[in-house]
Amino acid sequence: MYGSTMQRASPIDFYFDFSSPYSYIASEWVEALAARHGRTVDWKAILLGATFQAAELKSPVAYPLKREYALRDFERSARFEGVPLTMPPKFPVPTQNAARVFWYLQSVDPARATAWARCGLRAYFARGVDPSDAVALEALACEFGLAPGEAERIWSDPQWKLRLRQANDAAIAAGVFGAPFFVIDGEPFWGNDRRAQIERWLEQGPF
């Protein structure tokens, strides 16, 4: 409506870790789903290690029995969503460097940070580019468009180390204990497998 005072729908908070396969799968559908319902997405790179510690949890692959299932389910869930995923031989890996680059880009241009998030997740899970390998990550950043040496300067900078710690603390304060984690209109949804519930929420509101 012209001149309407209708409030803009609030963005979807989307918490992810660069080493989380379910985050990767969700990263491939969250933007289109949000756009279909007139929403934007606030991407938030976090470290699952920090949220696991706060919630006294561990990765699903750290447990007997659950590990074998999880490795199978990562790939099956990706096929189910039509997303290319091959579990990297080294998994999970530390992702603070990729996340610090994310928060730097986010301070400059959020759309570019989102593009870096999608680039990093796809590189790791579809092409086996290990974000914990400084040489591989630097090469990926150059391919993405950063200047040579820029990524490493960012991830070594105390300012972006601090920014990531703040992001982890804010996530924990918001109740985040895993990834992907979505907060929509204050309602928390955990996991790639909450897609159908998120879709209903966006269509109909609270149910």
Judged by CB under 8 A, does residue 147 bind a copy of itself?
Answer: no
Are 14 and 26 within 8 A, CB to CB? yes
Based on the number of CB atoms within 10 Å of its own CB, is 89 exposed (0-12), middle (13-18) or buried (19 or more)? exposed
CB of residue 90 to a copy of itself, shortest distance in Å: 23
Interface size with a copy of itself, residues (CB under 8 A): 31
Quick check: 144 binds a copy of itself (CB under 8 A)? no
The residue type of 31 is E
Residues 59-88 that bind a copy of itself (CB under 8 A): 63-66, 68-69, 72-73, 76-77, 79-80
Q: Does 175 bind a copy of itself (CB under 8 A)?
A: yes
Evaluate the CA torsion angle 11, 17, 20, 25 in order and state its sign: positive
Give the integer Cα–Cα distance in Å for 20 and 26: 10
Q: Which of positions 29-58 make contact with a copy of itself (CB under 8 A)?
A: 51, 54-57
Please report whether residue 197 would count as binding a copy of itself according to CB under 8 A. yes
How far is residue 124's CA from residue 49's CA, in Å, rounded to a whole number? 18
Report phi then psi at 6, rounded to 5: -55, 130
CB of 54 to a copy of itself, least distance (A): 6
**Quick one: 57 or 162, whose CB is closer to a copy of itself?**
57
Run of H or E including 15: strand 12-16
Q: How far is the CB of 50 from a copy of itself (least distance, A)?
A: 12
Binding site residues, a copy of itself, CB under 8 A: 51, 54-57, 63-66, 68-69, 72-73, 76-77, 79-80, 172, 175-178, 188, 190-191, 193-194, 196-197, 200, 207
